[in-house]
Amino acid sequence: MEKNVLIYSNNNPQSLKLKEELITKIKATDIRIVDENEAPDFIISIGGDGTLLSAFHEFKHYVNSTRFIGIHTGHLGFYTDWQIFELDEVIEGIRQSKGESVSYPLLKVEMTLTDNSTKNDLALNEFSVRSFKGTMVCEVYIKEHFFETFRGDGICISTPTGSTGLNKALGGAVIHPRLDAIQLTEMASVNNRVYRTLSSSMIIPRDEWFVLHLTDEEDDRSISIDNMSFNHMPVKMIRLQLAAERIRFASFRHMHFWDRVENSFIGRKQGRLQGQPSGSMNYLK
Protein backbone atom coordinates (compact mmCIF):
# COMPACT_ATOMS: atom_id res chain seq x y z
CA MET A 1 0.00 0.00 0.00
CA GLU A 2 1.35 3.41 -1.00
CA LYS A 3 2.51 5.61 1.89
CA ASN A 4 2.23 9.42 1.80
CA VAL A 5 4.79 11.57 3.62
CA LEU A 6 5.09 15.29 4.30
CA ILE A 7 8.58 16.64 5.06
CA TYR A 8 9.05 19.64 7.35
CA SER A 9 12.38 21.19 8.35
CA ASN A 10 13.79 24.28 9.99
CA ASN A 11 15.94 26.72 8.01
CA ASN A 12 19.24 25.48 9.35
CA PRO A 13 21.58 24.76 6.37
CA GLN A 14 22.25 21.24 7.64
CA SER A 15 18.53 20.54 7.97
CA LEU A 16 17.76 21.88 4.49
CA LYS A 17 20.57 19.79 2.98
CA LEU A 18 19.28 16.71 4.78
CA LYS A 19 15.76 17.44 3.54
CA GLU A 20 16.96 17.49 -0.07
CA GLU A 21 18.87 14.24 0.47
CA LEU A 22 15.79 12.62 1.99
CA ILE A 23 13.59 13.77 -0.89
CA THR A 24 16.03 12.29 -3.42
CA LYS A 25 16.09 8.96 -1.59
CA ILE A 26 12.30 8.83 -1.21
CA LYS A 27 11.74 9.53 -4.91
CA ALA A 28 13.60 6.30 -5.68
CA THR A 29 10.97 4.33 -3.72
CA ASP A 30 7.21 3.75 -3.86
CA ILE A 31 6.64 6.36 -1.12
CA ARG A 32 4.77 9.48 -2.25
CA ILE A 33 5.71 12.99 -1.07
CA VAL A 34 2.72 15.29 -0.52
CA ASP A 35 2.34 18.97 0.34
CA GLU A 36 0.42 20.59 3.19
CA ASN A 37 -2.89 20.40 1.30
CA GLU A 38 -3.07 16.61 1.39
CA ALA A 39 -3.33 14.49 4.53
CA PRO A 40 -0.08 12.51 5.00
CA ASP A 41 0.40 9.12 6.61
CA PHE A 42 3.66 10.42 8.10
CA ILE A 43 5.04 13.87 8.91
CA ILE A 44 8.84 13.84 8.99
CA SER A 45 10.35 16.69 11.03
CA ILE A 46 14.02 17.56 10.42
CA GLY A 47 15.66 19.69 13.10
CA GLY A 48 15.15 19.48 16.84
CA ASP A 49 12.31 19.36 19.32
CA GLY A 50 11.43 22.98 18.51
CA THR A 51 11.07 22.06 14.84
CA LEU A 52 8.78 19.16 15.70
CA LEU A 53 6.68 21.43 17.90
CA SER A 54 6.36 23.85 14.97
CA ALA A 55 5.39 20.97 12.66
CA PHE A 56 2.77 19.84 15.16
CA HIS A 57 1.18 23.29 15.32
CA GLU A 58 1.41 23.79 11.56
CA PHE A 59 -0.35 20.50 10.84
CA LYS A 60 -2.36 19.78 14.00
CA HIS A 61 -5.49 19.47 11.83
CA TYR A 62 -3.96 16.14 10.69
CA VAL A 63 -3.20 14.91 14.22
CA ASN A 64 -5.87 12.19 14.17
CA SER A 65 -4.70 10.65 10.91
CA THR A 66 -0.91 11.01 10.81
CA ARG A 67 2.19 9.76 12.59
CA PHE A 68 5.22 11.93 13.31
CA ILE A 69 8.87 11.01 12.78
CA GLY A 70 11.64 13.24 14.16
CA ILE A 71 15.14 13.38 12.62
CA HIS A 72 17.49 15.50 14.70
CA THR A 73 20.28 17.65 13.30
CA GLY A 74 21.55 18.72 16.71
CA HIS A 75 21.37 17.18 20.15
CA LEU A 76 19.04 14.23 20.66
CA GLY A 77 15.68 15.49 21.87
CA PHE A 78 12.56 14.01 23.37
CA TYR A 79 10.71 13.79 20.06
CA THR A 80 13.55 13.17 17.59
CA ASP A 81 14.45 9.48 17.45
CA TRP A 82 16.57 9.37 14.31
CA GLN A 83 20.02 10.66 13.43
CA ILE A 84 21.23 12.22 10.17
CA PHE A 85 22.99 9.05 8.96
CA GLU A 86 19.86 6.90 9.35
CA LEU A 87 17.75 8.11 6.42
CA ASP A 88 17.72 4.68 4.76
CA GLU A 89 16.43 3.11 7.99
CA VAL A 90 13.69 5.77 8.25
CA ILE A 91 12.58 5.14 4.68
CA GLU A 92 12.57 1.36 5.11
CA GLY A 93 10.62 1.72 8.35
CA ILE A 94 7.96 3.74 6.52
CA ARG A 95 7.81 1.23 3.67
CA GLN A 96 7.41 -1.73 6.03
CA SER A 97 5.12 0.01 8.52
CA LYS A 98 1.78 -1.62 9.29
CA GLY A 99 0.43 1.29 11.32
CA GLU A 100 2.43 0.84 14.53
CA SER A 101 2.50 3.95 16.69
CA VAL A 102 2.91 5.26 20.22
CA SER A 103 0.61 8.07 21.31
CA TYR A 104 1.06 10.89 23.81
CA PRO A 105 -1.56 13.10 25.53
CA LEU A 106 -2.23 16.65 24.36
CA LEU A 107 -3.46 19.65 26.34
CA LYS A 108 -6.68 21.40 25.31
CA VAL A 109 -6.46 25.16 25.85
CA GLU A 110 -9.71 27.16 25.85
CA MET A 111 -9.26 30.91 26.36
CA THR A 112 -12.04 33.43 26.94
CA LEU A 113 -11.05 36.97 25.95
CA THR A 114 -12.22 40.18 27.60
CA ASP A 115 -14.75 40.73 24.79
CA ASN A 116 -16.18 37.24 25.58
CA SER A 117 -14.90 35.75 22.33
CA THR A 118 -13.00 32.46 22.58
CA LYS A 119 -9.73 31.10 21.25
CA ASN A 120 -8.93 27.39 21.37
CA ASP A 121 -5.66 25.56 20.81
CA LEU A 122 -3.75 22.36 21.53
CA ALA A 123 -0.40 22.07 23.30
CA LEU A 124 2.04 19.19 23.08
CA ASN A 125 4.29 20.37 25.93
CA GLU A 126 2.72 23.10 28.03
CA PHE A 127 0.70 26.25 28.45
CA SER A 128 2.05 29.07 30.59
CA VAL A 129 0.86 32.50 31.64
CA ARG A 130 3.06 35.01 33.40
CA SER A 131 3.44 38.68 34.18
CA PHE A 132 6.44 40.53 32.77
CA LYS A 133 5.83 43.78 34.69
CA GLY A 134 4.91 42.73 38.22
CA THR A 135 3.08 40.18 40.34
CA MET A 136 0.41 38.18 38.50
CA VAL A 137 -2.88 37.57 40.33
CA CYS A 138 -4.97 34.58 39.31
CA GLU A 139 -7.81 32.57 40.86
CA VAL A 140 -7.28 28.83 40.37
CA TYR A 141 -10.25 26.46 40.11
CA ILE A 142 -10.22 22.68 39.83
CA LYS A 143 -13.33 21.83 37.87
CA GLU A 144 -16.00 24.18 39.32
CA HIS A 145 -14.36 24.40 42.73
CA PHE A 146 -12.28 27.37 43.84
CA PHE A 147 -8.87 26.22 45.07
CA GLU A 148 -6.58 29.22 45.64
CA THR A 149 -5.72 32.79 44.69
CA PHE A 150 -2.26 32.71 43.17
CA ARG A 151 0.13 35.65 43.39
CA GLY A 152 3.54 35.34 41.80
CA ASP A 153 5.41 35.32 38.50
CA GLY A 154 3.12 32.90 36.65
CA ILE A 155 1.65 29.43 36.19
CA CYS A 156 2.62 26.49 33.96
CA ILE A 157 0.29 23.62 33.00
CA SER A 158 2.07 20.73 31.30
CA THR A 159 1.35 17.41 29.63
CA PRO A 160 3.29 14.30 30.69
CA THR A 161 5.79 14.69 27.82
CA GLY A 162 6.00 18.41 28.56
CA SER A 163 6.73 17.68 32.22
CA THR A 164 10.44 17.43 31.37
CA GLY A 165 10.59 21.01 30.06
CA LEU A 166 9.58 24.25 31.76
CA ASN A 167 7.65 22.27 34.38
CA LYS A 168 10.78 20.40 35.51
CA ALA A 169 12.79 23.63 35.56
CA LEU A 170 10.19 25.01 37.97
CA GLY A 171 10.51 22.00 40.27
CA GLY A 172 7.57 19.98 38.99
CA ALA A 173 7.47 16.18 38.71
CA VAL A 174 8.41 14.18 35.61
CA ILE A 175 5.34 12.16 34.54
CA HIS A 176 5.37 9.09 32.29
CA PRO A 177 3.31 9.78 29.12
CA ARG A 178 1.19 6.66 29.60
CA LEU A 179 -0.49 8.50 32.49
CA ASP A 180 -3.45 10.58 31.35
CA ALA A 181 -2.84 13.57 33.57
CA ILE A 182 -1.86 17.23 33.51
CA GLN A 183 0.25 19.16 36.01
CA LEU A 184 0.05 22.71 37.34
CA THR A 185 3.28 24.22 38.64
CA GLU A 186 3.67 27.67 40.16
CA MET A 187 6.31 30.21 39.21
CA ALA A 188 7.74 31.99 42.27
CA SER A 189 4.50 32.21 44.26
CA VAL A 190 4.17 34.81 47.03
CA ASN A 191 3.66 33.09 50.38
CA ASN A 192 3.51 35.06 53.64
CA ARG A 193 1.09 35.77 56.48
CA VAL A 194 -1.30 37.54 54.09
CA TYR A 195 -1.08 35.49 50.85
CA ARG A 196 -1.05 31.70 50.67
CA THR A 197 -0.87 29.12 47.86
CA LEU A 198 -0.25 25.38 47.86
CA SER A 199 3.28 26.14 46.60
CA SER A 200 3.56 22.64 45.19
CA SER A 201 2.80 21.01 41.85
CA MET A 202 -0.70 19.56 41.40
CA ILE A 203 -1.42 16.59 39.14
CA ILE A 204 -5.01 15.91 38.08
CA PRO A 205 -6.59 13.10 35.99
CA ARG A 206 -8.30 13.17 32.60
CA ASP A 207 -11.79 13.85 33.93
CA GLU A 208 -10.75 17.00 35.81
CA TRP A 209 -9.55 20.38 34.58
CA PHE A 210 -8.00 23.65 35.70
CA VAL A 211 -9.69 27.03 35.24
CA LEU A 212 -7.61 30.18 35.65
CA HIS A 213 -9.40 33.49 36.23
CA LEU A 214 -6.95 36.33 35.57
CA THR A 215 -7.54 39.47 37.58
CA ASP A 216 -4.43 41.51 36.78
CA GLU A 217 -4.04 44.01 33.94
CA GLU A 218 -4.04 42.35 30.53
CA ASP A 219 -1.16 44.46 29.18
CA ASP A 220 1.12 42.92 31.83
CA ARG A 221 0.54 39.40 30.58
CA SER A 222 2.50 36.97 28.41
CA ILE A 223 0.96 33.68 27.28
CA SER A 224 2.89 30.77 25.78
CA ILE A 225 1.61 27.63 24.08
CA ASP A 226 4.59 25.35 23.51
CA ASN A 227 7.10 27.42 21.51
CA MET A 228 4.62 30.17 20.60
CA SER A 229 4.36 33.34 22.70
CA PHE A 230 1.68 36.04 22.77
CA ASN A 231 2.11 39.31 24.63
CA HIS A 232 -0.74 41.59 25.69
CA MET A 233 -3.40 39.03 24.77
CA PRO A 234 -6.69 40.21 26.41
CA VAL A 235 -7.49 36.92 28.14
CA LYS A 236 -9.65 36.80 31.26
CA MET A 237 -10.16 33.04 31.71
CA ILE A 238 -8.42 29.84 30.59
CA ARG A 239 -9.75 26.30 30.86
CA LEU A 240 -7.14 23.53 30.57
CA GLN A 241 -7.82 19.81 30.28
CA LEU A 242 -6.44 16.77 28.50
CA ALA A 243 -7.62 16.85 24.88
CA ALA A 244 -9.60 14.12 23.17
CA GLU A 245 -6.91 14.14 20.47
CA ARG A 246 -3.52 12.48 20.95
CA ILE A 247 -0.31 12.87 18.96
CA ARG A 248 1.06 9.68 17.44
CA PHE A 249 4.67 8.83 16.64
CA ALA A 250 5.73 6.05 14.28
CA SER A 251 7.03 3.28 16.51
CA PHE A 252 9.21 1.20 14.21
CA ARG A 253 11.86 2.67 16.49
CA HIS A 254 10.85 4.88 19.36
CA MET A 255 13.13 5.47 22.34
CA HIS A 256 11.84 4.43 25.78
CA PHE A 257 10.65 7.49 27.74
CA TRP A 258 12.96 6.93 30.70
CA ASP A 259 15.90 6.47 28.34
CA ARG A 260 15.10 9.93 26.99
CA VAL A 261 14.95 11.38 30.48
CA GLU A 262 18.22 9.76 31.54
CA ASN A 263 19.98 10.75 28.32
CA SER A 264 18.85 14.37 28.60
CA PHE A 265 19.45 15.03 32.30
CA ILE A 266 21.95 12.45 33.58
CA GLY A 267 23.81 10.95 30.61
CA ARG A 268 25.74 8.26 32.49
CA LYS A 269 23.81 5.13 31.57
CA GLN A 270 25.48 4.66 28.19
CA GLY A 271 28.89 4.47 29.78
CA ARG A 272 27.65 1.94 32.33
CA LEU A 273 26.11 -0.19 29.58
CA GLN A 274 29.36 -0.18 27.61
CA GLY A 275 31.17 -1.49 30.68
CA GLN A 276 28.64 -4.23 31.49
CA PRO A 277 29.74 -7.86 31.43
CA SER A 278 28.09 -10.08 28.82
CA GLY A 279 24.65 -11.29 29.84
CA SER A 280 24.03 -8.60 32.43
CA MET A 281 20.67 -6.87 32.65
CA ASN A 282 19.99 -3.99 30.25
CA TYR A 283 18.37 -0.88 31.66
CA LEU A 284 14.83 0.24 30.81
CA LYS A 285 14.03 -2.28 28.12
Residue 148 is assigned to a ligand binding site = no
Residue 134 is assigned to a ligand binding site = no
Residue 263 is assigned to a ligand binding site = no
Nearest to 36 by CA among 15, 57, 18, 53: 57
Residue 226 is assigned to a ligand binding site = no
Helix (H) or strand (E) holding 274: helix 269-274
Residue 126 is assigned to a ligand binding site = yes
Residue 275 is assigned to a ligand binding site = no
- Whole-angstrom distance, CA of residue 278 vs CA of residue 208: 48
Asked whether the CA dihedral 171, 54, 210, 118 is positive or negative, the reply is positive
Residue 50 is assigned to a ligand binding site = yes
Residue of 49, 115, 226, 259 marked catalytic: 49
Is 30 in the active site?
no
Nearest to 126 by CA among 240, 256, 259, 245: 240
Cβ 151 vs Cβ 137: under 8 Å: yes
Helix (H) or strand (E) holding 272: helix 269-274
Residues contributing to the annotated binding site for NAD(+): 49-50, 125-126, 151, 153, 188
Q: Looking at the annotation, which residues are catalytic?
A: 49
List binding-site positions. 49-50, 125-126, 151, 153, 188
